[in-house]
Structure formats: structure tokens, C-alpha cells
Structure 1
Amino acid sequence: MPSKYAFDFDPQETNTSHGLLVGMVPPRSRVLDVGCAAGYLGDALKDKECIVRGVELDPVAAEEARAHLASVVVADAETLDYAAEFGAEAFDVVVLADVLEHVRNPARVLAGALSVLAEDGTLVISIPNVAHGSLRLGLLQGRWNYTPLGLLDETHVRFVTWDTLQDLLTDAGIIVSAAWMTTADPLATEVDVDPALLPQEVVDWVRAQPLALGYQFVLSARRAVPGETPPQVEPLPAGPVVAPAESPTIVSAREEVEQLRRTLADREDELRAAKEIIAYHEAAALEAERRLRDSATWRVGNAVVTPLRAAKRAFRPTDPGKG
């Protein structure tokens, strides 16, 4: 059964992580592709006269990769002794393409990569952005549903934002040299979001947040010089973001929701007006009663009626049944 991570891609397409990664690797480099899957990335690098070796956990995918790479080691990227397997400074470039999110201890993988990287070598890394707008909108709807591939790949165990990724690399002694982000509209990904139930103002607000359109971060990095302060680097958009056209069903649902909101607002206005009318009449009735009690007629009438009531009680006939 083919690996689910085996797919074709266009190395010239810059708004994909793999297209960007291929562009970052200098021609005729010695390359280690950690998590090489079926070898599709290494196959593209052969066109740049690179010598590519791979590390892959899945033996079936590793077997496929052997057709494209110089060699493949079947091993766990977290536990492999890189230096013992390949030797120190064995590679000009180490590629970690969508790898760090799959391991529980990414710092160990980064340390292994540095142990076989040439002194002036380059790390090339891609990793999903957990703060992408689609995930923000999904959480607003209470949704976090894993998928076979994508931002919430069912095998992901680590999640990063741009800030936490930089912290991870800095702690590992790695400096980011340049960074990009592939871009995707929050409503145009595989993430479970129901746009018909979202106010358009909320969607627009999320779209405007920093790095919310970044689907994956793709960067080149190097070994840090002892005592070096990491520079402030922000990922550049790798492509334009095109909002998806809304389907007739979504448009109809959104219009229905807006109509319901307007109807509810009208009913709330009517209820508020009715309460004001009731309150007005209650106040008017109380005021009329107060004025009546303060009037001379009320006082005279009360003065006459009260003694009559008392006299009537005094002369009430005695009940024959009582002694």
C-alpha cells in the first residue's frame, strides 16, 4: 500500500512547502532528507544534481524511496544516532520537511540534524502553523477535528506558532536565516469550518490578524554562533491569498441567517415598545389614583363613609343563635 505522503508536486510552484524547499537547496549539495517518505522531494532534488540520502520510519515508504535516493535508512528520527550512521559534517543540507510536528521530542531531532551538518551547512524546515485562520475559526465553533492530512493530520503530536517555533530553534542553537509562509484563505482549507454560521465580520477580522493566512512556515536556518542573539525574522507570504467563491448553498444559508437576525431584532424592538407602553399606563394609573386620594372629594367622601361604616357595625343585629 503506497504511503499517504507520496504525491507529485511542481517544484516551480512557490506557494507550496515542497516547491519552496527545493528552491532553498543549492545545486550539487549533499542532502539528508529526514522523513523522506516515498522519496518525492529527493527525486526533485536530483534535477539539481544533489546527492540525497534519506531517513524514513515506514519501511514500505522507504522501499519506494530507494528508487529515487542514493540510500535510505529505516529508523526513528527521534532515536537514530545520526553521527554514528552518517559521520560528522556529512551533509551540506539537512531537510526536515513536515517532520517536527510528528515527533514528541523535536529538540532531539534537531540535535541529530546538527550533528551531521557541515559547519557552514543549512537546515531547511517546513512545519504547519497551528494559528492559521481556519483553526481559529474552527475553535470559535468548538471544532478540532483531525484529518488524514493537513494542519490537523491525525499523526501530529506537536503544534507550533511562529513564536514557539523560533523558541524551539533558539533553544536548539539554531538561527533562522530566512523564512516564508505558504498562504491559504481561512475558508479554503481542509479544516472543519461552517462558514454559513460565521458572521462575515468575524471572518474578515481573522483574515486581518498577523500570520493568520500562513498555512505552513518554511525556513532556512544555520548553526548559531555561541552568544549570538537571534535576529528578528518574520515569514514572508509565498503567494497571493484568494478567498473562495461562496457556493449558492452557503450564500442562501447566510442570507437566511441574516434574515432571522433582522426578524429577531424587529421582535426585540416590538417587545421593548410594548414594555414601555405598559410601564407608561401603569405609571399613569398610579398617578391618577394618587391625585384622586389627594382630592377634596375623596377626603369628604371618606370622612362621611367611614363613620357610617362604623355605625353600621355597631347596630348590627345580634345573632339569635348566640346567648
Structure 2
Amino acid sequence: MSYSIEQRGRPNTPDYRVYFKNSEGKYISPFHDIPIYADEILISFPLNLSKRFLSVDYYFMLQNIFHAVVEIPRWTNAKMEIATKDALNPLIQDTKKGNLRYVANVFPHKGYIWNYGAIPQTWEDPGHKDGDTGCCGDNDPIDICDIGNKVCTRGEVIKIKVLGTLALIDEGETDWKVIVINTEDPEAAEFNNIDDVRRLKPGYLEATFDWFKRYKVPDGKPENHFAFNGEFKDRDFAIETVKSTHEFWKALVGKKTDAGGLNCMNTCVLDSPFQCSSGDAKATVDAVSSSVYH
């Protein structure tokens, strides 16, 4: 499945929106409609064993390759994000006190030092206190930091390998930062765990920790804190964390938990009470803005 974007409004204005379309050119939600897994492979079964006796976990063999939506390309400063409370969840630029937000250059860093984004169909539940961090989720999809060599474009959907994670505690909330690499990176085969990042990209993890610790200081805020004394957890821990947020998302989009103002409108999540038609999705986009940015 391939995806494209449509920009509406002018960049660097509050009206700017980046909407997503599927390969058929129909509007979708990057939060809800892009599958979390990018590598579902149907496995074969013994002829004498009926598939109906097997659970979904056995029906698909998952290699833990995930999709990610790039919100902020490397080296850029505009704080773009999936608008979780807007219909169809376009990318928008975050605002504070009516002003567009830009992340400061914190020496020696320039903007975001990775391609920064989120894994679709995940949700850090603010009603769930994490057993490891002791804090509840931040009410957003789980964040990723892509360390690959390519500088991605805003709204690009990539396939990623999970390598590890850092547990940022942001204003009392758990805000996982999952370290990943684009599977199309020429060096992707060499990266399989967090120690590979430490070995092959010396200083990158330290720079990542430093960036998250200090990036709010220019705005007059104190340095951020971390669980696990700032230790990066390994691939297996990170994958389980991602999968747990997928379960929280399932409850959210299935209306089994309080959405708390989040918009769960989607076009292709089966059995979701929030599912809408392609026509309704288009009407929703057109109602927000008729101006397509070229």
C-alpha cells in the first residue's frame, strides 16, 4: 500500500493542514487507517489442520516491521504533529498561546536530529499508569526517532525496524521515544538492537538523550527527566511497548475506553463505530479548507 499527501492552506500558518490519501486517492486518517504492521505474511498450514481453529496470532507471521508517519524531517524546526483531536487527523503545526511552535536550535544541535514521527494505530493511554515508569501516557501515538541516513519529507510513510526506546517523563506523563531505522536505509541490515546504534553511530544516543533533556530550556522550562535513569531499553522491550500501545489504540477506536476529545473518525477500521464512508471523509476535508497548496 502506498500513501500520498495533500497540503491545504499555506505552510507556517495556523490554517496549514497535511491530509493523507491511500493508493486509490481516498482520504484516510494517518492515526487510525495506516496499519501498524508493514510486514504481515500469510503462512501456510498443514492440509489436515483447519484455519478456523487457529488464532489470528498464528494466522499471520509478524516480523516486527512497522509503519511510521514522518511528522518532522531531520534538521527542521517547525513542530508538526498528528492532530489527534481533528477529523481525519491531518498534520498541523502545534501552537502555544496562539503562536506557531518552533523548536529552538540547542547547541550543538540543529532542529530535530532525526526524522521524527509516530507509529500509527498506537496510543499512549492517559488513563493507564505504566508499571515501569509510574506515570500515565501522554494521550498521543507513540513517537519514533528514525536514525537512518535519508532526510525524509513531511508526511512520508516509511517502514521501520525498532531498535530500542528512551522513556521521557514529560510534565509527569510517560512519553516513549522509540529509536528506529528506515528499512530502506542502505545500512538497515546492520542495525538490529540498541547496542548496534551505540557501536555504529557513536555519540548518537548521547546526543539524543541530550536533545530531549534540554530542548525546552530555551522556552524557559526546566530540563526534562527520564525513567530508568535515562538508560535506553533494548529492542525487545521497545517492541513490547509499541505492541501495548497498539492494544490501547484498539480499545480507543473500538469505543471501549473514553476518547477524551480525541477524534477517531476513520475509513477502514473494521467494526469501529467511528468508521465513515470515503464520501464523508472528502466532505470533511472540503469543509475545513477548499484551498489546496501547490
TM-score range, shorter chain: under 0.3
Structure with bigger helix share is: 1
TM-score by length of 1: 0.23
Higher share of residues assigned strand: 2
Q: Could you tell me the TM-score, scaled by structure 2's length?
A: 0.24
* Larger RCO (alpha carbons 8 Å, 6+ apart): 2
Q: Which has the larger radius of gyration?
A: 1
